[in-house]
Amino acid sequence: MNNNRICKLLGIRYPIIQAPMNWITGAELAAAVSNAGGLGTIGINAGAKTITRDIDETAERLRQQIRKVKSLTKEPFAVNFPVWMESKDEETGHAFSRRCVEVALEEGIKIAVTTTGSPNIYTKRFKEAGVKVLHSISFAKHAIKAEELGVDAVICEGTEAGGHTALNGLTTFVLIPMTADAVKIPVIAGGGIADARGIVAAMALGADGVYLGTRFIASNECDAHPKVKEAVIKCSDTGTIGIDKWMMEARDLKNDFTSKFQQLREAGKSDEAMEMMIKLPMYQGLVVGDIVEGEVPCGQNAGMIKDILSAQDIISNIIQNIPSIMEEVKIRLS
């Protein structure tokens, strides 16, 4: 795809980006995606076998993951920096900090995916170091600000996406054209995309690339617990729910955790709901495999994912099926 703006920007063969998913998107998955022609992304706690709130330990673990990806692929890859934790690390000991950015720069990363926060925080630092910045947004107007600040491409994420999005309820289907109309930089579509139909639809709406999370949970190389992968491929069309985490929505698999959390939120028991979050239920869900009491972020598209495949097969299936989907579209429009 030589003319594609994302392929040109990032030096990749196909405009398919594997979205970061914290603990479960480690070096093996990122390298497998990059070797298959997409862009692999390391999650911020990739490779963690225990919970730590130590900033240096987190940063050094990230360094090892970056080195590991480099040993597994010569192709470009990215690293995720969830911005919102930046301001909190001093007071709460959140396992993320500015230190991770510095370590990643020391290791010479070329592409950063900044998410859940303002593009103001890290874009300048990355751009000065010659790093390409992809920044996620859930409002079209935020894309304009990102472009002004020098971001290279925006990722627009609708409410159907697994993990955190804004509480505005905008879907990927409306966010892509509004964002494509708002900015000149390339637009990457995230949320609800799992196959060739999704990529063709996203491109028709004005996207230059796609960003897939949940599809890659059900991959051989993903570090999610096997019970999580099974739960994704068994998920029904209504098997996920968006829960209100104060400033954000989190889309998760429906389970005892989401019911209890929602009940506390609806009853106004914010302190008890916060207590649940402090225990890091996402680690319990994704890594330990407690898919009942733990939190398992998951997109609505899980309802259409039926198999656990290699990252290579996920990407080649999408690419191979694009021509027939395009033909079908032409027939339907004729």
Ligand X SMILES: Cc1cc2nc3c(=O)[nH]c(=O)nc-3n(C[C@H](O)[C@H](O)[C@H](O)COP(=O)(O)O)c2cc1C
Does 198 bind ligand X (CB under 6 A)? Our answer is no
| Pairing relationship of beta strands 163-165 and 248-253 according to DSSP bridges | antiparallel
Stretch binding ligand X (CB under 6 A), from 103-111, 160-168, 261-269, 312-320: 160-168
Tokens encoding 101:
């950015």
- Is residue 189 within a helix (H) or strand (E), and if so which, with residue range? strand 187-190
Tell me whether residue 20 or residue 209 sits nearer to ligand X (CB atom). Answer: 20
Does 301 bind ligand X (CB under 6 A)? Our answer is yes
Ramachandran sector of residue 8 (left: φ over 0; alpha: ψ -120 to 50; beta: rest): alpha
Among 80, 95, 317, 90, which Cα is nearest to 218's? 317
Tell me whether residue 185 or residue 232 sits nearer to ligand X (CB atom). Answer: 232
Does 303 bind ligand X (CB under 6 A)? Our answer is no
126 exposed, middle or buried (CB, 10 Å; 0-12, 13-18, 19+)?
buried
Q: How far is the CB of 164 from ligand X (least distance, A)?
A: 6
Q: Are 187 and 176 in contact (CB under 8 A)?
A: yes
Rounded Cα distance between 78 and 131, Å, is: 10
Does 39 bind ligand X (CB under 6 A)? Our answer is no
Does 119 bind ligand X (CB under 6 A)? Our answer is no
245-274 positions binding ligand X, by CB under 6 A: none
Q: Which long-range contacts (CB under 8 A, 24 or more apart) does 239-244 make?
A: 239/298, 239/302, 239/303, 240/162, 240/298, 240/299, 240/300, 240/302, 242/159, 242/165, 244/167
Does 190 bind ligand X (CB under 6 A)? Our answer is yes
Does 287 bind ligand X (CB under 6 A)? Our answer is no
Does 55 bind ligand X (CB under 6 A)? Our answer is no
User: From the list 9, 15, 17, 20, which residue makes contact with ligand X (rule: CB under 6 A)?
Assistant: 20
| Pairing relationship of beta strands 132-137 and 111-115 according to DSSP bridges | parallel
Q: How far is the CB of 12 from ligand X (least distance, A)?
A: 17
Does 115 bind ligand X (CB under 6 A)? Our answer is yes
Please work out, in degrees rounded to the nearest 5, the angle formed at the alpha carbon of residue 160 by the alpha carbons of 156 and 164: 70
Q: How far is the CB of 24 from ligand X (least distance, A)?
A: 6
Does 299 bind ligand X (CB under 6 A)? Our answer is yes
Q: Which residue is nearest to ligand X (CB)?
A: 213
Q: Are 169 and 180 in contact (CB under 8 A)?
A: no
Does 315 bind ligand X (CB under 6 A)? Our answer is no
Tell me whether residue 85 or residue 272 sits nearer to ligand X (CB atom). Answer: 85
205-244 positions binding ligand X, by CB under 6 A: 211-215
Among 127, 222, 176, which Cα is nearest to 114's? 127
User: From the list 34, 65, 73, 80, which residue makes contact with ligand X (rule: CB under 6 A)?
Assistant: 80
Rounded Cα distance between 85 and 125, Å, is: 17
Does 44 bind ligand X (CB under 6 A)? Our answer is yes
Does 162 bind ligand X (CB under 6 A)? Our answer is yes
Does 15 bind ligand X (CB under 6 A)? Our answer is no
Stretch binding ligand X (CB under 6 A), from 95-103, 137-145, 291-299, 325-333: 291-299
Among 64, 124, 68, 70, which Cα is nearest to 98's? 124
With contacts defined by CB under 6 A, how many residues of the chain interact with ligand X?
Answer: 29
Does 37 bind ligand X (CB under 6 A)? Our answer is no
* Residues found near ligand X in the complex (CB under 6 A): 19-22, 43-44, 80, 82, 115-116, 157, 160-163, 190-193, 211-215, 286, 297-299, 301
